[in-house]
A = this chain, B = another copy of it.
Amino acid sequence: MSGSMISVAEARDRILSGLRPTPAETVALAQAWNRVLATELRARLTQPPADVSAMDGYAVRAADSVLGARLNVIGSAPAGHPFGGTVGPGETVRLFTGSVVPQGADAILLQEDTTREGDIAVVNEAASAGRHIRRAGQDFSAGDMLIAAGNKLTARDIGLAASGNHPWVNVHRAPRVAILATGDEIVLPGEPLPPGGIVSSNAHALAALVRACGGDPVVLPIAADTEDAIGAVADAVGGMDMLVTTGGASVGDHDLVISGLSKRGLAVDFWKIAMRPGRPLMFGALGPVPVLGLPGNPVSAMVCAILFLMPALARLGGLPAGPPPTTIARLGAGLAANDWRADHLRATLQAGPDSQLVATAFGVQDSAMLRRLSLADALILRDPRAPALPAGASVKIIQLDSLGI
């Protein structure tokens, strides 16, 4: 039964090898937070541009600044108003944090180490040469690499890019992902619900996941369970970077998404993976548009989205792409041996002794239980044929909250 199926890792590799990062667009720095840099940023200036004071105080010649010395205050240079002259012997200039250190001075006498008497500054503690001076280029010099391409820009990066004098940046265009939910039984939230009908949740959850991964979701109208209705989506995917479908993959004896889209030229790469929840998963291409077919069960759809769609969005968006990050937790309760399919158990997390995480799987793991998925903190990863484990054993987990989804 497992013969025709491929592993989770192989499926992910095959999906990623079929995807290329989106091209770049230029955006204002103010819009660039959380976007992925497409062109490296190098400093356009030297920072600080000159030697500046790190403190409030006085620019002095270290040789003059002995205990009890009385220095002539010949000027004041607030930040942004450099002193044009030179500090000569016995002279000093009032400075502030960020002020350019004037010519002739080589030390900063701290304000709190000084007594001011009219135009005289009395030295109460000697200043040493170079101290409290930020040298030109201490942060960076013109031409230095500030941020490499492929980084998702943090708030700190935005500050650094500004500081390097970049009002605009090139970022990867947000991947546009069309989302098609299929099924005769589903209706949109708030719409009249026929007998046997259920409310469509997958498209909305997936749209949110796409947004969380920096993508731009396009939710298509629900398609009925016919080949023609599903095939018609081929007319809607122009300009999309990916099409994601849910449902239709296990309706009766054949796969409606595959048969419907095949009439419109779908080339299927693979469509079955040895995993649970979410066995029927399809990857292929509709002309230039990659197609990811997710299961219809809400939990299966989201678990497959975490394992396959999130890495796909990372690749499309210009980020390093691979398996979701895992950490180690201890089991709060024992687990039975696993069968031949990789399993992904919904679990809660608590902080255990030594602040190690303790993961406890829900007793019932039905793939239609969306409330449990919403309450879950993590997925416990179980390899195919993994042995039974007692409480306290170490397991690999994917932390859902840290993924932002």
**Contact A400-B154, Cβ < 8 Å, known A205-B162, A368-B48:** yes
Question: Which residue of chain B has the shortest Cβ distance to A55 in the bound complex?
Answer: B250
**Contact A158-B251, Cβ < 8 Å, known A225-B80, A402-B402:** no
In the assembled complex, how far is the CB of residue A304 from the closest CB belonging to chain B, in whole angstroms?
Answer: 13
Identify which of A16-24, A92-100, A170-178, A285-293 touches chain B. A92-100
Q: Which A138-154 residues have a C-beta within 8 angstroms of B?
A: 138-140, 144, 146-147, 153-154
For residue A405, CB closer than 8 A to chain B, the reply is yes
**Contact A162-B199, Cβ < 8 Å, known A252-B56, A368-B134:** yes
Contact of A138 among B156, B166, B369 (CB under 8 A): B369
Q: Which A100-140 residues have a C-beta within 8 angstroms of B?
A: 100, 134, 138-140
Q: Is the CB of B204 within 8 A of A190?
A: no
Identify which of A65-73, A181-189, A268-276, A381-389 touches chain B. A181-189
**Contact A163-B80, Cβ < 8 Å, known A30-B219, A49-B198:** no
For residue A8, CB closer than 8 A to chain B, the reply is no
Rounded to whole angstroms, the CA-CA distance of A163 and B297 in the bound complex is 12
Identify which of A207-215, A229-237, A316-324 touches chain B. A207-215
Instruction: Give the interface centre of A94, A134, A163, A211 by most chain B CB atoms within 10 Å.
Output: A163
For residue A298, CB closer than 8 A to chain B, the reply is yes
Instruction: Give the interface centre of A147, A184, A252 by most chain B CB atoms within 10 Å.
Output: A252
A196: B residues at CB distance < 8 A: 49-50, 79-82, 99-100
Rounded to whole angstroms, the CA-CA distance of A87 and B18 in the bound complex is 48
Rounded to whole angstroms, the CA-CA distance of A185 and B95 in the bound complex is 13
Rounded to whole angstroms, the CA-CA distance of A368 and B376 in the bound complex is 42
**Contact A189-B29, Cβ < 8 Å, known A155-B206, A199-B165, A302-B155:** yes
Listed from nearest, the 5 A-B pairs whose CB atoms lie closest are A159-B205, A80-B185, A80-B184, A167-B190, A155-B208
